[in-house]
Structure 1
């Protein structure tokens, strides 16, 4: 293979990205990307003293996920971050002075490259997603992640799109779970952030008493190295951790047709969460809003958002019908426009087309046929379930177990531009005191206290929201 020849054409790479329903790693696709030079020293010079926000978390193995609401935040330059991660004495008086490197991690996560380098637009061309079949998509539609060892994101799924992740410096370990494992991961919308459904489980240190069903989840674990690109398909759960002293990665979310329905579901969720949580006692210590969400929007605004989402859904359906009748009249890129929201899509909704299949056997056959056409090999490595990893000859990027998990991370992921929030108070108490138990060992009904968050976990469960969205769209169609 020549130096300038990539293992997949843009058309073939896009076909894989848009059709593959399991995670995979692309290799040898970005060797000529200038973005591979984007290590922290290079970025520090490029930013030229500009400060960015870092999220600070503890390197501990708590049973509870370290959501963003439980983290601290500092503003610092990349130069200061590098000095801190190297243990230089100058950090004793800098922005990281309160955080000992051996006990804390720092994460500049979810930084919009378009905003970070708004005065250096030429660097957008260093990132060439056109090689994956998305012409015109570059750094302007991408985000940057810079972390120290132990920096991590809590397990979550993204409601919108699918995800392409380029590893630039250091290694990150991804723990992925299929959409079918949603109930085993105990989904929650507290802390609330649009387009992110969190898991109550710290998958790096799960609590079997609180979350017994987690044992039924199937982990797909992959360690992503520099120059590799990970495809995270629609609605796959993921927990991500930095395992080297400094890591840099770049990602872009690819919008999908199914996002139109997901936006209706997200609008319903926002309306319910904001209405119910805003009705709580103002003195409540529950910091339910993720720092990435600037404020709790009013009921009127949320209804406007819901109506807009419903209108956009029907507009997209009409466009789809028109495209079937006149395929050449619709832009081939309508499915790949950049999403301006945080991320992906939502659980419980199959991509358009699958709903037309009336027999599960037919669906399985279609999936099997598609899978046979996927060119797995040295340039596209399948991320297999853990039980299959050790028998896979080609899965050199895949880890076989959890034994080298770094001791002391759990964490939050994402970060927009908001600042410090401390300790999320959630109803994570799993054991009922003995004096509140009946003689048969069950909780005493008269003394069992359900919280607002317990109620919300049922009301905005992805399965419930999916059903509500379908009923709402049927009513609107009439």
Structure 2
């Protein structure tokens, strides 16, 4: 990129058993927790050598086949789309962890290696015992967030957002992060809702060589960007809905992340509501759309008490607080209506 993003703020002196989660969540801003996982055993193995880190991971391999992405050298480490955005430029394969590590090792000195990428592998099921010496105490802060691990060579995760909050821990290698606040969505030129390279819609801009003629508003996104390079041992807090572009910088890289929602489990992810709105509202006449905008502003985006405050509590239904019982009723009602 030609324009450099502003630096992400850095918090020094954090401990894995005393994370400042309340401050992070209340700020709503990304932050680097410098060296917070420097004492992890995997981080120590990676400091010794790439091979030591690989051998350490092999020690927890439960022998289960896992999914990984494979791309030819031509994709240059960027799992993405073909030219007309109708198909992905890589394939999903199945194999053992040792097989993936062997393949990465075999191409470690190639100037243009094939892409190997294990994404979002749940640690507890596939690397039993790993957490004993490689874990953050989120549960001590009241957060239940089972960790996932990401293993690969020089891979680019195209810019995307996640609905949950994210704490990304750089364990082996280095990673370059570029973050954008949620209001930059239009300036990032999101691609198709499906298929997607990793389950989330991604920006179609090539950050290594942006085409400003085709994507002129990307300059505005860059003006709002924040960025940093994480060393092994650092962690990055990515608030909910912030867009992030992630570039792995070494021939072998490992990241462990924790996702968690600020909402209880009985509140579903809003993406289904977006898809329903695309179906039911987007293509209506402009006058109707603007009327529905006002309806949503009143019921959804305004103050949460506003729509029902003039009604007795017993009459508010979904206009009042949604608890688990009401959530079940709403779900059943929606399923019934959609199945008609």
The two structures share one fold, judged by TM-score above 0.5 = yes
In 2: Cα distance, 1:466 partner to 1:17 partner: 31
Partner of 1:238: 244
Give the CA deviation at 1:261: 7.8
Q: Residue 69 of structure 2: which of 47, 55, 79 is its match?
A: 55
**Paired residue for 2:213?**
209
- Of 25, 28, 46, 2:32 maps to 25
- Aligned 1:418-457 pairs, distance under 5 A: none
C-alpha displacement of 1:58: 4.4
Q: What secondary structure does 1:40 align onto?
A: helix
Quickly say closer, same or farther: Cα 1:76–1:255, change in 2 above 3 A: same
Within a 5 Å distance, the mapping from 1:45-194 to structure 2 comes to: 45-47=59-61, 49-60=63-74, 66-67=80-81, 69-87=88-106, 102-117=112-127, 120=128, 122-130=129-137, 134-135=141-142, 137=144, 141-149=146-154, 151-158=155-162, 160-191=163-194
2:256 is aligned, of 250, 261, 275, to 250
Q: Deviations over 1:59-83 (max 9, x none)?
A: 5579x97158331122233333333
Q: Is the 8 A contact 2:29 2:239 kept in 1?
A: yes
Q: Deviations over 1:147-200 (max 9, x none)?
A: 112x12111111x22110111111111121122322211234522579834223
Aligned partner of 1:221 among 223, 227, 233: 227
State the 1:217 CA deviation: 1.2
Do 1:165 and 1:229's aligned partners in 2 also have CA atoms closer than 8 Å? yes
Cα contact 1:185–1:199 (8 A) shared by 2: yes
* SS of residue matched to 2:56: helix
Counterparts of residues 295-306 of structure 1 (less than 5 Å):
none
Partner Cα separation in structure 2 for residue 13 and residue 205 of structure 1: 37
Aligned to 2:8: none
Q: CA deviation at 1:84?
A: 2.4
State the TM-score, normalizing by the size of structure 2.
0.65
> Which 10-residue stretch deviates more, 205-214 or 251-260?
251-260
List per-residue Cα deviations over 1:389-423 (Å, max 9, x = no partner). xxxxxxxxxxxxxxxxxxxxxxxxxxxxxxxxxxx
**Higher relative contact order by CA 8 Å / sep ≥ 6: 1 or 2?**
1
Q: Would the alpha carbon gap of residues 248 and 195 (structure 1) be closer, same or farther in structure 2, given more than 3 Å must change? A: closer
Q: 1:259 to 1:180 in 2, by over 3 A?
A: farther
Q: Distance in 2 between matches of 1:465 and 1:152?
A: 39
For structure 2, which runs of at least 5 residues remain unmatched after alignment?
1-12, 46-52, 82-86, 301-306, 309-317, 321-340
Residues 110-131 of structure 1, C-alpha deviations (whole Å, 9 max, x = no match): 11223324xx3x4334343326
For each residue in 1:211-236, what CA deviation from the matched residue of structure 2 results, as whole angstroms up to 9, or x when unmatched? 11111113322111111111112221
What is the deviation of 1:53? Answer: 1.9
Correspondence 1:336-351 to 2 at 5 A: none
Residue 276 of structure 2: aligned partner? 271
SS at match of 1:16: helix
Cα offset for 1:25?
A: 1.2
> Secondary structure of 1:84's match?
helix
Normalised to the residue count of structure 1, the TM-score between the two structures is: 0.48
CA distance in structure 2 between the aligned counterparts of 1:259 and 1:161, rounded to whole angstroms: 12
Q: Contact 1:20–1:233 (CA<8 Å) still a contact in 2?
A: no
* Greater fraction strand: 2
Take 1:255 and 1:152, find their aligned partners in 2: how far apart are those partners?
Answer: 25
Quote the Cα distance in structure 2 between the aligned partners of 1:183 and 1:258: 29
Tell me if structure 2 keeps the 8 A contact 1:128–1:137.
no
Please tell me whether the aligned partners of residues 176 and 237 of structure 1 are also in contact (alpha carbons under 8 angstroms): yes
Superposed CA RMSD: 4.0
